[in-house]
Amino acid sequence: MPLTPRTPSLLHAILCFGGNFLMISSGLFIFAISLHVVMFFCLIWTALHAWRLGYDFEAIRGMMNTGISHALPAIYIFILIGMVIAAFMQSGTVAALIYHGLNLLSPSLFLAAGLVLCSLMSVATGTSWGTAGTLGVVLMGIGAAMEIPLPLVAGMVVAGATFGDKLSPISDTTNLAAMSADTTLYRHIGSMLYTTVPAFVLSLIIFTLLGLRFADNALPEAAIAQLQEALAGQYSLSLVATLLPLLVMLLLSLRRLSPEISMSASILSAVAVAVLYQERPLVEVLNSLWANSPGTTGIETLDSLLGRGGITSMSWTLLLSLLALALGGILFNAGFLKALLEGIIARVQRTASLIATTIGAGIVGNMGMGEAYISIILNCQLFRSAYETKGLDNAVLSRSVEEGSTMSTGLIPWTTAGAFYASTLGVPVLDYAPYAFLNYLNPIISIAMASAGIGLLRNSRQNAATGAGKLREALGVDV
């Protein structure tokens, strides 16, 4: 075994990735093996490849630790979101929104209106996870009451939440992509509007047309009255009091405070509303933050919804994320991902092919590392010189990276986002993914526009920011 670890070749990287994809696809779709177990064997496979390069056990474990440490903020949010959902159930926030939403949303317009609402909330708050964990849960409840297929509703929620997370000036991925590509934030957002707005409009049209199929699903007045009576029997439903926790989260997010702070404040306010307004025992409310209990309305689907949330509800997601992030740490730090992408970049000639390759690399990065953040940074570093050679503005690079990394992360079951959405919305990723139209229409439209020569901003150095240079220096990466 060599004293100095070797750099993997393109063939070695393809072999390593190919083995992982084969294990994941066959484990999930052929043998129906638990994804956690499949990821464990992927870890062993990848660690053996790193060992063949000359890395010892300590170095490999260090790579795994690094992969996890990069996503610690996401892990904190996992825990907080579970508590937010349970607290909002106890405070009556979700119940009140369902109660009044049944009067306002018609089945025919529900999907289109839900897409717009999720998009607006995620733009305002900058977090797709916060949107899915609050408004998304409410919309799932209303959709279930209207007998609209839940995978379709979940796809709509994910599409709307991702739209805002991609375009919001206070979104972490939006700022990270701009900084990593060495462009300004609003130049980056302006560039994304070229491809994201057409994709959003097309998605809105599709959801509107699909909604018309459920026009006859309007609940009879007696059924609406039964649901509302069941909710009113368990909660006090004044919007002034019950919406306070949601308003606290929204206002603190608009003030650009970190998600951890805004979520913690909303949890505390929800606990106060549950105890003081709903008159629930303090001990019961606090215990629900660990493991919430089903409701007692007598309506099974409603009781199941009202029992969502709590830290324990995020355990499946958290454990899967830890395994996926550890795997990504080895693939990234041992050089497998870089070798794979550099080998592909060297063979790209046309501009449209470069953009398509950038988007594809974001998807591969997410699949390999389980997290969009590292994929965004790495792909901006790897592809930047290729974009500069073709005279393209750095904002085209940042846009293409987001269309691969940000848009696909919620469509892959073992990424942190995919696992989170599945756990929070109660629908498996592979069930809702076909209906998250925006998430895959956006990359397709971007590639089509590039092929037609539309939206290809040319290099303009006056928009360069210094933030990316500092980021690369901090990471110790030469580009």
pLDDT above 90: residue 373: no
Contact 145, 227 (CB under 8 A): yes
Question: Quick one: pLDDT at residue 124?
Answer: 65
| Residues sharing a CB contact under 8 Å with residue 383, sequence separation 6 or more, in sequence order | 345, 354, 357, 358, 361, 397, 400, 401
Q: How confident is the model at residue 3 (pLDDT cuts 50, 70, 90)?
A: low
Span 437-443, mean pLDDT?
96
The enclosing H or E element of 8 equals none
Q: What was the pLDDT predicted at 220? A: 65
The residue with greater pLDDT, 352 or 105, is 352
Contact of 159 with 379, CB cutoff 8 Å: no
SS3 244: helix
Q: Report residue 231 as tokens.
A: 């909710």
Residue 378 has pLDDT above 80, yes or no: no
Higher-pLDDT residue of 351 and 164 is 351
- Identify the CA nearest to 259 among candidates 319, 170, 180: 170
How do residues 193-244 score in pLDDT, each as one tens digit? 999 999 999 999 999 999 999 888 766 677 778 888 888 988 999 988 999 9
Q: What are the sequence ranges of the domains in the chain?
A: 10-70+320-475, 72-314
In this prediction, residue 468 carries a pLDDT of 43
CA 412 to CA 28: how far, in whole Å? 12
How many degrees, rounded to 5, is the angle at CA 264 between CA 150 and CA 254?
Answer: 80
- Position 451 pLDDT exceeds 90: yes
DSSP state of 296: -
What is this structure's pTM?
Answer: 0.76
Smallest Cα–Cα separation from 171: which of 121, 114, 111, 102? 121
* Separation of alpha carbons 144 and 191, rounded Å: 37
Per-residue pLDDT band for 470 (boundaries 50, 70, 90) equals very low
Residue that the structure tokens 């390593």 belong to: 16
Q: What is the pLDDT of residues 285-332, one digit of tens each?
A: 999 999 998 888 887 767 877 888 899 988 887 888 788 889 888 988
Dist. CA 456–CA 396, nearest whole Å: 7
Q: What is the pLDDT of residue 268?
A: 97
Say how far apart CA 203 and CA 434 lie, in whole Å.
12
